[in-house]
Amino acid sequence: FLYSREARAQDTVVKAGPARIGGAGFAVIAGPCSVESKEQLVETAEKVSQAGAHVLRGGAYKPRTSPYSFQGMEEEGLKLLALAREATGLPVVTELMDADELPLLEDYVDIIQIGARNVQNFSLLKKVGKINKPVLLKRGLMTKLDEFLLSAEYILAGGNDQVILCERGIRTFETATRNTLDLSAVCVLKERSHLPVIVDPSHATGHWRFVEPLARAVLAVGADGLMVEVHCHPEQALCDGSQSLTPEMFSHLMGELNAMPSFR
């Protein structure tokens, strides 16, 4: 398999603007769950940039459980992401939900995210296998690691070798947290694949209080990076406020990570 260590000895380093994910450093992706307004996005982008984030995240097309929940700003949101990149210099990542929107995302953003719910949308995976942009592939709610790696293989097999794997929690019997963070996935994926592995403790836990301690664990276990949700006013967030850090908490988290001996 193209994802395997046998196929490639060195770690893959994914490049997006000035950011590098995989290899020597530890990359931090931060930003709101959803793009909500120009003010919201630019303010958050500036604050996470000042705190040391390497990539800005923000959803413009949101995979919501209820059709009556906020669905995202769509193309307007993509334009705001491009604006926030201009304001901060941070490369941006956003989720692709429908192949029809792929040309638009290719124009506006630096990294294309395939969300947990589309991890086995094989036709979508084939399409992003043909593009010349990095893909951030999230593990599904019920995806075994064998299956997750084969989803990555779909993208690699199309000729796109810029794939980032993201553990974001899986569904188990435990309901105290939104999902159960599978930290052992990092060890297994790093052993079996040269692709960069990052972890999203925000969606894994659903609670802002658990994000910092688990982020420290993510660095300690040897992941290549982190994806964290940050909102200036979490109580007003249109999506995932309960798991969002304020910029101040995010800045504290970055300080904690920097102080760890394994920080690189």
Residues that bind Mn ion (CB under 5 A): 33, 240
**Interface with ligand PEP: number of residues (CB under 6 A):** 9
DSSP 89-131: ---EEEE---GGGHHHHHHH-SEEEE-GGGTT-HHHHHHHTTS
What sign has the CA pseudo-torsion 18, 19, 22, 23?
A: positive
168, interface contact from Mn ion, ligand PEP, none, CB < 5-8 Å by kind:
ligand PEP
Separation CA 117–CA 24 (nearest Å):
30
- Among positions 54, 85, 127, 138, the unique one binding ligand PEP when judged by CB under 6 A: 138
Q: Is 167 helix (H, G, I), strand (E, B) or coil?
A: strand
- Among positions 22, 31, 77, 115, the unique one binding ligand PEP when judged by CB under 6 A: 115
- Among positions 4, 37, 38, 63, the unique one binding ligand PEP when judged by CB under 6 A: 63
Binding status of residue 89 toward ligand PEP by CB under 6 A: no
> Which of 226, 206, 238 is CA-nearest to residue 166?
226
Longest dimension (CA), the chain: 48
Task: Give backbone dihedrals phi and psi of 205, rounded to 5 degrees, phi first.
Answer: -105, -35
Binding status of residue 103 toward ligand PEP by CB under 6 A: no
138, interface contact from ligand PEP, Mn ion, none, CB < 5-8 Å by kind:
ligand PEP
Q: Could you tell me where the beta strands, DSSP code E, fall in the chain?
A: 14-16, 19-21, 27-31, 55-57, 92-95, 111-114, 135-138, 163-167, 197-199, 225-229
Binding status of residue 32 toward ligand PEP by CB under 6 A: no
Shortest Å distance, C-beta 168 to ligand PEP: 4
Listed ranges 112-120, 157-165, 183-191, 255-263: which one lies at the site for ligand PEP (CB under 6 A): 112-120
Tokens of 147: 């299956």
- Among positions 85, 127, 168, 190, the unique one binding ligand PEP when judged by CB under 6 A: 168
Q: Is 164 helix (H, G, I), strand (E, B) or coil?
A: strand
Separation CA 58–CA 185 (nearest Å):
25
User: Which one, 2 or 201, has the nearer CB to ligand PEP?
Assistant: 201
Listed ranges 48-56, 76-84, 114-122, 213-221: which one lies at the site for ligand PEP (CB under 6 A): 114-122
Residue pointed to by tokens 């003010």:
39
User: Which one, 115 or 234, has the nearer CB to ligand PEP?
Assistant: 115
> Nearest 5 degrees, angle CA 201-CA 202-CA 206?
115
Shortest Å distance, C-beta 170 to ligand PEP: 10
User: Which one, 2 or 138, has the nearer CB to ligand PEP?
Assistant: 138
Binding status of residue 142 toward ligand PEP by CB under 6 A: no
Interface residue list for ligand PEP (CB under 6 A): 33, 59, 63, 115-117, 138, 168, 203
